[in-house]
Structure 1
Amino acid sequence: MPHRPLARAVTALAALVATTLAVLLVPGTAQAAAIHYVALGDSYSSGVGAGSYDPNTCLRSSKSYTSLWAQQHAVASYKFPACGGAKTDDVLNEQVGSLDATTTLVTITIGGNDAGFSSILENCRFGSESDCANRVNEAKTFATTVLPGRLDTTYAEIRNRAPNARLIVLGYPRLFETGSCGLLGMSKSKRIILNEAADLLAQVTADRAAAAGATFSDTRSYFAGHGVCASTPWIKDVTGLIEAYHPNADGYRLGYLPALNAVTG
């Protein structure tokens, strides 16, 4: 007669081996799910300021935080329709076509161009204190009255196009340090009100992202101490008109990328 305890042990071992093989061989069981990543948004997502742009008008950079994250995580697919200068309408009309039911991750920075921050920064850099303050106040009003609806519409359409994706909304950093900035730097009062506007934009964006069930990644703490006028800035000043007030390569690598990693794990 067979030894029953031994026979039971052999049977149990065979079952364990079979289960283990099934886990290893069947996709989606214990293996990490494939990541199908789409990077939407404006110049802060396309990587303006980092250099190494592809030959198109969107200034997409291989040094953007989206490209770096995709390389770091060995994604199954990576689509990169983010474009310098994009507003919410551009995302809706030109970028969301890259999304579908297979998309598992979407990131976006958007809203700054809707509020006109590019022209405001130019005005504050070269205009008077009062003109700067007036333009910033106009942008704040827009950010609290008009922008929320535009963000809601954008996030809803992303959800509609990519129902199985996690949506991560990244904010903008404060652009300036408020210490000494040399004779040619922007005045301290201008830098303070511009940073206050950035704080308001971050709060509005975070609120609308939460309402949409998205994850908000606040980048401000990651850039702290590295704004314009810092000893080691990660934000460009007016060194180039197109790249002005955008992160440099270090800003995307050491600021935005860690901020995204913090919420993706």
Structure 2
Amino acid sequence: MRHPRPLLLLGSLLLAVVTALTGAATAQSAEQAASGGYVALGDSYSSGVGAGSYIDSSGDCKRSTNAYPYLWAAANSPSSFSFTACSGARTGDVLAGQLGPLNSGTSLVSVSVGGNDAGFADVMTTCVLQSDSTCISRINTARAYIDSTLPGQLDNVYTSIRGKAPNAHVAVLGYPRFYKLGTFCVGLSETKRKAINDASDHLNNVIGQRARAHGFTFGDVRSTFTGHELCSGSSWLHSVDWTNIGNSYHPKAAGQSGGYLPVFNAAA
């Protein structure tokens, strides 16, 4: 069926208007977020472990200039930027040591937390070194914790953030799936890889539910990491790094800029 030329022109004009308005809204949103202070909280996925270029003063927290909070702040010049995310942080660590910069003038907050509480590092160690059945058993223990205990811990963090920064837009960032399935990959079995991915999905679902319950925005990075998982041939994640074990299963610089930053840009 051929469309009359006036209708085609009208369609093109409407598409151009929508595109322009969307771009203007995105720019305005970023400008509003940058008008106040930005505070970046969370664990190693927010501090930038694995991305290199660590800030000397951050010590063992390993805050990277390649991490998505630093990249966003560099691009948007918020009135202030406090980067307190720290490698290894759990929900209790965020509550005890990261919330100091929050105040009524804070306009934007980002946070990723929950993976360490659920025992992610031990899950990966178990699955790398032991059998399929032992790996799945450890994952099931983590899933039970995610269901029974983690929601309350996340609620405590989110409630404290809102109490200290009542005017802030809060973006909660999740975690990527780690493996591309259905392809040959040296290392973990397909059974282990699928179980790990399913556990990551479960963790993200719980974090997303609790974030939305507090009126926060959940930034789901699984879509941006699709095609860049381990075993994909174009991974944005470190596999086991025996020369620097702390990098293992963390985003590379490309994962921060290509996987996390676009999602945070949209969430912010």
TM over 0.5: yes
Aligned to 2:35: 34
Aligned to 1:102: 105
Query: Would you say the 8 A contact 1:40–1:107 is kept in 2?
Result: yes
Partner Cα separation in structure 1 for residue 175 and residue 137 of structure 2: 21
Q: What is the Cα deviation at residue 72 of structure 1?
A: 1.2
Residue identity matched to 1:230: S
Aligned to 2:204: 202
Aligned to 1:51: 52
Aligned to 1:158: 161
* 2:233 aligned with 1:263: no
Any idea what the Cα deviations from partners look like across 1:23-77, whole Å, max 9, x if unmatched?
xxxxxxx988613100000000000010011221101100001100111112111
For 2:188, which of 176, 186, 194 is the aligned residue?
A: 186
Partner Cα separation in structure 2 for residue 42 and residue 213 of structure 1: 21
Partner Cα separation in structure 1 for residue 144 and residue 32 of structure 2: 48
* 2:234 aligned with 1:250: no
Matched ranges for 1:1-265 at <5 A: 34-55=35-56, 56-182=59-185, 184-239=186-241, 240-264=244-268
Give the secondary structure class of the aligned counterpart of 1:98: coil
Q: What is the Cα deviation at residue 164 of structure 1?
A: 1.0
Change (3 A) 1:242 1:36: same
TM-score when scaled to structure 1? 0.86
Query: Would you say the 8 A contact 2:34–2:107 is kept in 1?
Result: no
Any idea what the Cα deviations from partners look like across 1:87-145, whole Å, max 9, x if unmatched?
00000000011211111100000000000011111110111111100000000010011
Q: What is the Cα deviation at residue 230 of structure 1?
A: 1.1
Partner Cα separation in structure 2 for residue 52 and residue 33 of structure 1: 24
Q: What is the Cα deviation at residue 263 of structure 1?
A: 2.0
Which residues of structure 1 form unaligned runs of 5+? 1-29
Query: Would you say the 8 A contact 2:33–2:107 is kept in 1?
Result: no
Partner Cα separation in structure 2 for residue 192 and residue 107 of structure 1: 29
Residue identity matched to 1:124: C
Compare the two structures and name the one with the higher helix fraction: 2
Query: Would you say the 8 A contact 1:185–1:229 is kept in 2?
Result: no
TM-score when scaled to structure 2? 0.85
The ranges of structure 1 where at least 4 consecutive aligned residues each deviate by more than 6 angstroms after the TM superposition are 30-33
Query: Would you say the 8 A contact 1:179–1:229 is kept in 2?
Result: no
Any idea what the Cα deviations from partners look like across 1:147-189, whole Å, max 9, x if unmatched?
000000100000011111111101101011113344x321111
Partner Cα separation in structure 2 for residue 175 and residue 43 of structure 1: 15
Aligned to 2:28: none
Partner Cα separation in structure 1 for residue 247 and residue 91 of structure 2: 20
Residue identity matched to 1:49: G
Aligned to 1:27: none
Partner Cα separation in structure 1 for residue 235 and residue 142 of structure 2: 25
Change (3 A) 1:80 1:33: closer
Residue identity matched to 2:167: N
Q: Percent identity?
A: 47
Residue identity matched to 1:170: L
Partner Cα separation in structure 2 for residue 31 and residue 88 of structure 1: 28
Any idea what the Cα deviations from partners look like across 1:171-218, whole Å, max 9, x if unmatched?
101011113344x32111100000000000011001000111111111
Aligned-pair Cα RMSD in Å: 1.4
Partner Cα separation in structure 2 for residue 138 and residue 211 of structure 1: 25
